[in-house]
């Protein structure tokens, strides 16, 4: 099967992007990172992608004078011109319209730093600590128009420690995200996901463990 062509959309640091680039270096990985696109010209991730030899593009949303649709048409044009099969949102800080989401329905993933449907939106680590949960984590899901919703492809659990601050918890969750996103993208790129009644089933998963990463060590 030819490797799927993936676009990673970022707005900042791009550490999940870096994890996807690293995973895609393996000869048996079913996807290649065809392009990294940022909506911010100063996103640090763009430099990292460039030095890893990945094509990069900037579609600066501020150049479109609040015209969200024009911004998205430009973004869509970049994706098409690079013959992208799958879009991975990785810290991409723009809400997408139903039109754009529809163009990529079933082919666009997002990573969220919480066990959805808990703690949607920003500041998830603060919210988890405030709620007193013992297990936190991260989720990769298909993107639908509603924010931080959509069929869940895979999740990773991260224990919350009594000593955690939002920063310490965030950094452990981030390390787990870097293992989760390559796994989830693999499942999608291998065409092993099926949406059944709004749930994402994994075809050929020997055990449920394949879609639930447990903490290392």
Residue numbers at the binding site for ligand GRF (CB under 6 A):
10, 12-17, 90-91, 111-113, 138, 174, 177
The span from the CA of 98 to the CA of 111, in Å, is 19
By beta-carbon proximity to ligand GRF, the closer residue of 81 and 171 is: 171
Smallest separation (angstroms) from ligand GRF to the CB of 174: 6
Smallest separation (angstroms) from ligand GRF to the CB of 90: 5
Nearest to 11 by CA among 91, 87, 66, 72: 91
By beta-carbon proximity to ligand GRF, the closer residue of 36 and 187 is: 36
Smallest separation (angstroms) from ligand GRF to the CB of 60: 17
Distances (CA, A) of 8 to 35, 38, 39, 107: 7, 8, 11, 12
Nearest to 142 by CA among 190, 174, 102: 102
Nearest to 42 by CA among 72, 11, 73: 11
Smallest separation (angstroms) from ligand GRF to the CB of 156: 11
Instruction: Indicate which residue of 112, 125, 136, 178 is catalytic.
Output: 112
Q: Which residue is nearest to ligand GRF (CB)?
A: 91
First-to-final CA distance of the chain: 34
By beta-carbon proximity to ligand GRF, the closer residue of 75 and 109 is: 109
> Active-site residue 125, yes or no?
no
The span from the CA of 183 to the CA of 131, in Å, is 28
By beta-carbon proximity to ligand GRF, the closer residue of 73 and 166 is: 166
Which residues are known catalytic residues?
112
């Amino acid at each position: 099967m030819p490797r799927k062509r993936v676009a990673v959309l970022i707005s900042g640091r791009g550490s999940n992007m870096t994890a996807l680039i690293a995973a895609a270096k393996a000869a048996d990985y079913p996807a290649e990172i065809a392009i990294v696109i940022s909506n911010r010209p100063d996103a640090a991730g763009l430099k990292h992608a460039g030095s890893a030899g990945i094509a990069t593009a900037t579609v600066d949303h501020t150049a479109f004078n609040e015209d969200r649709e024009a911004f998205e048409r430009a973004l869509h044009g970049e994706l098409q011109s690079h013959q992208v099969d799958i879009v991975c949102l990785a810290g991409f800080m723009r809400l997408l319209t139903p039109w754009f989401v529809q163009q990529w329905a079933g082919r666009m993933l997002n990573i969220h730093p919480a066990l959805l449907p808990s703690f949607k939106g920003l500041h998830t680590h603060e919210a988890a600590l405030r709620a007193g949960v013992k297990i936190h984590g991260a989720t990769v899901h298909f993107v639908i128009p509603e924010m931080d919703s959509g069929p869940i492809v895979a999740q990773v659990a991260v224990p919350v420690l009594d000593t955690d601050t939002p920063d310490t918890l965030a950094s452990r969750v981030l390390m787990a995200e870097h293992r989760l996103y390559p796994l989830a993208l693999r499942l999608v790129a291998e065409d092993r996901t099926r949406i059944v009644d709004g749930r994402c089933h994994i075809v050929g998963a020997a055990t449920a463990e394949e879609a639930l990463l447990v903490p290392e060590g």
